[in-house]
């Protein structure tokens, strides 16, 4: 027994966890037997011989032990090495698979970046073309509008001009204004989708002047549609806003109301509360369902799709972008069958001292 087991306090041989536990239990039983005096019977009983150097003592710890050089120790080391080799081989296979996956993802990432770069260049070229086309078309048609308007006014003041001539001149002027408005929409879309986004030029603006411009621009269209425009402005509302953008907001909202509320009045109002101005445009059209109230503010979207309606479906999207550029918000409340109310809230009101 003493030749088979040696108790030491040095490092232990690394063995599998299950075998190590069995060896611990076996050594424990051997120590228990030694403590019971079983070894004394081989020496005639009585006193126990002094323990041999290196043999187990009472109270010795079994936490650190090793197997003396024997076939069992060599077998344990061989099994441990075999298990380490198997683990290394499995890890190598897993690492190889991971490397292959990384290479594949890198290739896909490079292709995605290349494709994204191509698409970005195509979008930039498209926006540049739209801006150029809108600018050229609007400038050319502006001359036609001026000429048609002057002829129409002169025909109204001249006796003997046939009514059909006056009607044709009025139609040319109206169509020219619509054409210019669509060209302006192209310019607005190009400006809003460009990398720089909306660039505002704030200045002191009176809401009443903005409403006058919108009514003058859309008066003929409203008359043809049978939609009288009713304007209600509370007090003298001034604000620090971009005048051109504010005119575009009001024109787009009123034009939308005329388009969908044909034959019924359109109400435009403005009020001031604190530092915020509220512009409300109410129509008496078919209304908008709850599910469509956000969709209509997207590009190329409309609440209804009746045949023959002009436009690109961009007016409300442009109006909301311009309102948000001012730090405000554009929302809609509607009851199907009872019309809609579009409300634009704009901060930046200037309170003038009372005189």
The answer to whether position 142 is within a domain reads: yes
- Average of pLDDT values for 141-146? 83
Last residue in a domain, options 162, 193, 224? 193
Same domain, 285 and 313: yes
Residue 270, CA distances (Å) to 127, 187, 202 in order: 34, 27, 19
Give residue 42's pLDDT.
Answer: 44
The answer to whether position 93 is within a domain reads: no
Same domain, 233 and 309: yes
Same domain, 338 and 249: yes
- Average of pLDDT values for 40-54? 47
The answer to whether position 44 is within a domain reads: no
Same domain, 163 and 185: yes
The DSSP result for 103-147, as a single string, is HHHHHHHHHHHHHHHHHHHHHHHHHHHHHHHHHHHHHHHHHHHHH
The answer to whether position 173 is within a domain reads: yes
Same domain, 275 and 340: yes
C-alpha to C-alpha distance for 336 and 343, rounded to whole angstroms: 17
Q: What would the pLDDT profile of 152-184 be if each residue is shown by its tens digit?
A: 888 888 888 888 888 888 888 878 877 887 777
Query: Greater confidence, 352 or 281?
Result: 281
Same domain, 142 and 253: no
pTM for this one? 0.59
Q: Looking at the predicted structure, is the pLDDT value of residue 113 above 80?
A: yes
Same domain, 251 and 337: yes
Give residue 3's pLDDT.
Answer: 37
Same domain, 216 and 309: yes
Full residue range of the structural domain in which residue 321 is found:
202-350
Same domain, 213 and 160: no
Q: What would the pLDDT profile of 260-273 be if each residue is shown by its tens digit?
A: 887 899 999 999 98
**CA 160 to chain CA mean position, Å:** 63
C-alpha to C-alpha distance for 204 and 240, rounded to whole angstroms: 5
Last residue in a domain, options 193, 225, 248? 193
Same domain, 167 and 298: no
Total domains, the chain: 3
- Average of pLDDT values for 133-147? 81
The answer to whether position 100 is within a domain reads: no
């Amino acid at each position: 027994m003493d030749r088979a087991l040696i108790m030491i306090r040095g490092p232990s041989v690394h063995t599998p966890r299950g075998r190590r536990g069995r060896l611990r239990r076996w050594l424990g039983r051997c120590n228990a037997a030694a403590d019971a005096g079983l070894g004394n019977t081989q020496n005639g009983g009585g006193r126990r011989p002094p323990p041999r150097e290196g043999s187990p003592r009472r109270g010795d710890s079994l936490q650190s032990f090793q197997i003396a050089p024997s076939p069992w120790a060599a077998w344990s080391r061989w099994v441990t090495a075999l298990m380490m080799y198997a683990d290394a081989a499995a890890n190598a296979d897993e690492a190889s698979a991971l490397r292959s996956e990384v290479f594949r993802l890198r290739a896909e990432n490079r292709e995605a970046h290349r494709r994204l770069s191509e698409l970005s260049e195509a979008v930039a070229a498209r926006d540049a073309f739209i801006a150029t086309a809108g600018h050229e078309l609007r400038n050319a048609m502006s001359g036609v509008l001026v000429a048609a308007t002057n002829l129409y006014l002169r025909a109204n003041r001249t006796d003997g001009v046939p009514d059909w001539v006056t009607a044709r001149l009025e139609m040319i002027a109206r169509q020219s204004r619509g054409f210019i408005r669509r060209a302006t929409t192209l310019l607005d879309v190009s400006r809003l989708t460009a990398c720089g986004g909306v660039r505002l030029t704030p200045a002191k603006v009176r809401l009443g002047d903005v409403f006058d411009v919108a009514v003058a621009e859309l008066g003929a269209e409203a008359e043809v549609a049978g939609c009288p425009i009713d304007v209600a402005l509370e007090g003298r509302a001034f604000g620090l806003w971009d005048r051109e953008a504010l005119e575009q907001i009001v024109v787009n909202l009123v034009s939308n109301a005329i388009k969908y509320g044909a034959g019924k009045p359109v109400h435009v109002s403005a009020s001031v509360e604190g530092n915020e101005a509220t512009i409300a445009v109410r129509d008496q059209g078919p209304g908008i369902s709850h599910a469509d109230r956000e969709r209509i503010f997207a590009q190329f979207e409309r609440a209804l799709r009746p045949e023959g309606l002009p436009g690109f479906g961009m007016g409300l999207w442009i109006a909301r972008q311009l309102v948000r550029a001012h730090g405000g918000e554009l929302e809609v409340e509607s009851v199907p069958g009872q019309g809609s109310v579009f409300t634009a809230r704009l901060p930046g009101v200037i309170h003038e001292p009372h005189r």
